[in-house]
Amino acid sequence: MSAFLPERFGWVGLGAMGWPMANQLLKNTSANLVIFDVERSLLDRFAREASDRVEIASSARQVADESASSRGTRLEDVHRLVNITIFALSVNKAFDSSTIDIRTSIAVGEAVMNSNAENPARFYDCPVSGGTAGAAKGTITFMVGAAADDPWFPLIHNILSTMGKSINPMGGKGLGLAAKLRSAANWVNSTINPVPGVCPEAVTSKDYEGGFKIQLMEKDMRLAAEAARGVELRSFSEILPLERTLLLLRILTIATEIHGLFYRNVLGELAKPVGFVE
């Protein structure tokens, strides 16, 4: 199957990750981009700073109606996700890079594929890792809910390669999200270790500027706990109840600050060497 790139893309979500990812797509293709975000100021600013190939949509549905492929990077609100995908009947491929719960992603994907018998659409979960710095450099990793022998995977790979350096088929629907939730701890240790100096290019070595928000970490922790319960897997939440963990984080950090400050303000102090007498 030909792995040509569409001439038009739809894009929903211009947040901390979505903005630089959309920039990479524009930079590395000649396609036009139809964009939407719930914050109008972001749309106006992106259109001003980007090329003349950008068109602002008035709704997520317009994004779907006017593009061959749609991507979403800010879909925490399940109802917004459903509205984008269920009504996107003219879109034959939809990619969701947000981190949501697996059950909802699968349900929405099935609804999308079953909504038009004559021209069924394809829906892929493809969450990312690599942080805002990686998104700006085009070096993020995509974990794609698709099999390696999916006939559409060459096209998926070509599209996502305009924004990232590692495109990994995880086997099937929902498994991109499963891989994201399972492997986050490994990624943190090797790529954005909270100890300053361990990863020189990470935000933790740059006074924690531009890092991950506490609110988003709370969401991901809840998703991981729910995914574990869904397969009856014993998880960290049984050792330290999730609500107590989140309460501790809220007490020890400021809600708008990044999670790295937890290490700098608390664990960093505990990790300092102390003198002792033999």
Q: What is the mean pLDDT of the chain?
A: 76
At residue 122 the predicted structure's pLDDT band, cuts being 50, 70 and 90, is confident
93: tokens are 């491929």
The domain of 79 spans 8-179
For 182-230, write each residue's pLDDT tens digit. 776 666 677 777 777 888 887 778 876 766 666 777 777 778 778 877 7
Task: Tell me if 1 is assigned to some domain.
Answer: no
Task: Tell me if 184 is assigned to some domain.
Answer: no
Q: What is the pLDDT of residue 79?
A: 42
Task: Tell me if 151 is assigned to some domain.
Answer: yes
**Domain identity same for 253 and 121:** no
pTM for the model stands at 0.65
**Domain identity same for 174 and 240:** no
At residue 277 the predicted structure's pLDDT band, cuts being 50, 70 and 90, is very low
**Domain identity same for 68 and 149:** yes
What CATH number is associated with residue 105?
Answer: 3.40.50.720
Q: What is the pLDDT of residue 175?
A: 95
What total of structural domains would you count in the chain? 2
**Domain identity same for 133 and 243:** no
**Domain identity same for 112 and 226:** no
**Which of 64-68, 114-118, 254-258 has the least mean pLDDT?**
254-258
User: Residues near 154 by Cβ (< 8 Å), separated by ≥ 6?
Assistant: 1, 3
Q: What is the 3-state secondary structure (H, E, C) of the chain?
A: CCCCCCCEEEEECCCCCHHHHHHHHHHHCCCEEEEECCCHHHHHHHHHHCCCCEEECCCHHHHHHCCCEEEECCCCCHHHHHHHHHCCCCCCEEEECCCCCHHHHHHHHHHHHHCCCCCCCEEEECCEECHHHHHHHCCEEEEECCCCCCCCHHHHHHHHHCCEEEEEECCCCCHHHHHHHHHHHHHHHHHCCCCCCCCCCCHHHCCCCCCCEHHHHHHHHHHHHHHHHHCCCCCHHHHCCHHHHHHHHHHHCCCCCECHHHHHHHHHHHHCCCCCCC
**Domain identity same for 219 and 175:** no
**Domain identity same for 232 and 141:** no
Task: Tell me if 129 is assigned to some domain.
Answer: yes
Does the structure show a pLDDT above 70 at 276? no
Q: What is the pLDDT of residue 1?
A: 38
Q: What is the pLDDT of residue 222?
A: 79
Q: What is the pLDDT of residue 189?
A: 75
**Domain identity same for 171 and 204:** no
Task: Tell me if 208 is assigned to some domain.
Answer: yes
Average pLDDT over residues 69-86: 45
**Domain identity same for 69 and 90:** yes
Does the structure show a pLDDT above 80 at 154? yes
**Domain identity same for 141 and 231:** no
Q: What is the pLDDT of residue 19?
A: 93
* Domain end among 179, 201, 234: 179
For 91-119, write each residue's pLDDT tens digit. 578 888 888 888 888 888 887 777 777 77
Task: Tell me if 29 is assigned to some domain.
Answer: yes
**Domain identity same for 143 and 55:** yes
173: tokens are 């629907």
**Domain identity same for 168 and 209:** no
For 231-243, write each residue's pLDDT tens digit. 777 655 555 566 7
Strands 140-144 and 32-36, by their bridges, are unpaired
**Which of 83-87, 115-119, 194-198, 249-253 has the least mean pLDDT?**
83-87
How crowded is residue 227: how many other Cβ atoms within 10 Å of its Cβ? 20
* Domain end among 179, 202, 224: 179
Does the structure show a pLDDT above 70 at 259? no
Burial 142-181 (b: 16+ CB within 10 A, else e): bbbbbeeebeebebbbebbbbbbeebbbbbebbbbbbbbb
At residue 5 the predicted structure's pLDDT band, cuts being 50, 70 and 90, is confident
Q: What is the pLDDT of residue 274?
A: 40
The span from the CA of 210 to the CA of 83, in Å, is 31
